[in-house]
């Protein structure tokens, strides 16, 4: 073992020149503590040695992970009704705390029998849609008269999310998968760490806290389409009032045995004249005091 020098070092897995100072005498494809300011390395950027590693991409030194989501969608609510599945979500996309985008669709049809909705990181949702496009294409190539149903797609998504979680590189989404096949309705959910379950009504994000209590009280298995739309509208209105990431532009999609119907986006009727909104600190200690210079 060589004597450690005092230059700052960085952990890499690259073949380095023999005359560069390294902290440990191990094979060239193992982890080396390479001194960033070592005189032997002047003028020899680490990028120069990445291309020598079989299978590596130029300029890619480390394996990157999504540490936190960037552009995110807000809550999504879905219910079973008499004829099929109904999903609702707003079309906002937040860049951090900024409501940057207002035309993002969080609900997409999958194959002939399924409907997928997602909240969370939008780019990860797009990646999941690419996975599903490949899955549906592969299934169609068999041309055997059969097609994947919502239960199969739900199981597939559960394995994908759990697999990515085990790699410590999760897809930052909560997924809702609904559909109808052979007269059987199906509605399930998958979390970002692969926890999945099946239920008659589900919600993601703040909807778990604000919409699910309403659904437990007012949902029933014989809901008509009109009543289901009203119920989802009520849930989305509560979320609009309480969730700062929500936007008043709602997308509703239904799926039945006949197929998928995507309705035009619309805005909810709202009322902001509540006393608690106009004077939110009324009744609190010190609310009568005024700030003075």
> What pLDDT is recorded for position 251?
95
Q: How many CB atoms lie within 10 A of CB 240?
A: 19
What DSSP character marks residue 265?
P
* Cα 7 from Cα 55, distance rounded (Å): 30
The pLDDT of residue 212 is 95
One-character DSSP codes across 154-176: HHHHHHHHHHHHHTT----EEEE
What pLDDT is attached to residue 273? 83
Q: What is the pLDDT along the chain (293 residues), one digit of tens a residue?
A: 444 444 444 444 444 555 555 443 333 333 334 444 444 444 444 444 444 444 444 444 556 667 788 899 999 999 999 999 999 999 999 998 888 999 999 999 999 999 999 999 999 999 999 999 999 999 999 999 889 999 999 999 999 999 999 998 999 999 999 999 999 999 999 999 999 999 999 999 999 999 999 999 999 999 999 999 999 999 999 999 988 889 999 999 999 999 999 999 999 998 888 777 777 777 777 655 554 44
The Cα–Cα gap between 39 and 20 comes to 8
What is the tens place of the pLDDT at every residue in 96-112? 888 899 999 999 999 99
From 106, 50, 41, select the one nearest 265 (Cα to Cα).
106
Q: What angle do CA 93, 118, 180 make, to 5 degrees?
A: 140
49 touches 16 (CB < 8 A): yes
Residues 6+ apart with CB under 8 A from 164: 170, 171
Catalytic status, residue 66 = yes
- pLDDT the model gives residue 63: 62
pLDDT in tens, 159-204: 999 999 999 899 999 999 999 999 999 999 999 999 999 999 999 9
Q: Quick one: pLDDT at residue 287?
A: 57
pLDDT of res. 64: 67
DSSP letter for 40, please.
G
Q: How far apart, in whole angstroms, are the C-alpha atoms of residue 97 and residue 71?
A: 10
CA distance 247 to 35: 50
Q: Dihedral (C-alpha) 28, 167, 157, 203: value to the nearest 10 degrees?
A: -140
**Residues 8, 38: Cα–Cα separation, whole Å:** 8
Q: Of how many residues is the chain composed?
A: 293
Catalytic residue among 66, 204, 256, 292: 66
| C-alpha 197: how far from chain center | 17
């Amino acid at each position: 073992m060589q004597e450690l020098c005092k230059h700052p070092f960085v952990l890499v897995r690259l073949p380095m020149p023999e005359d560069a100072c390294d902290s440990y005498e191990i094979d060239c494809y193992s982890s080396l503590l390479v001194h960033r300011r070592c005189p032997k390395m002047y003028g020899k950027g680490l990028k120069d040695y990445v291309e020598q590693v079989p299978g590596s991409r130029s300029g890619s030194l480390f394996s990157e992970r999504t540490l936190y989501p960037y552009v995110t969608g807000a809550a999504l609510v879905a219910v079973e009704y008499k004829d099929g599945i109904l999903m609702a979500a707003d079309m906002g996309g937040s860049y951090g705390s900024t409501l940057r985008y207002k035309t993002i669709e969080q609900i997409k049809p999958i194959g002939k029998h399924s409907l997928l909705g997602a909240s969370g990181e939008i780019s990860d949702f797009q990646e999941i849609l690419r996975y599903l496009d490949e899955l549906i294409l592969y299934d169609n190539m068999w041309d055997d008269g059969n097609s994947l149903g919502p239960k199969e797609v739900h199981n597939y998504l559960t394995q994908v999310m759990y697999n990515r979680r085990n790699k410590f590189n999760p897809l930052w989404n909560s997924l809702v998968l609904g559909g109808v096949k052979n007269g059987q309705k199906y509605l399930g959910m998958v979390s970002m760490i692969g926890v999945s379950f099946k239920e008659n009504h589900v919600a993601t994000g703040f909807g778990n806290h604000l919409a699910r209590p309403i659904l437990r009280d007012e949902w029933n298995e014989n809901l008509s389409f009109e009543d289901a739309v009203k119920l989802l509208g009520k849930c989305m209105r509560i979320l609009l009032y309480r969730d700062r990431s929500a936007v008043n532009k709602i997308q509703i999609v239904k799926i039945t045995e006949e197929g998928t119907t995507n309705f035009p986006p619309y805005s909810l009727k709202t009322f902001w004249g509540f006393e608690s909104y106009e004077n939110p600190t009324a009744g609190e200690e010190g609310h009568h005091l005024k700030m003075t210079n």
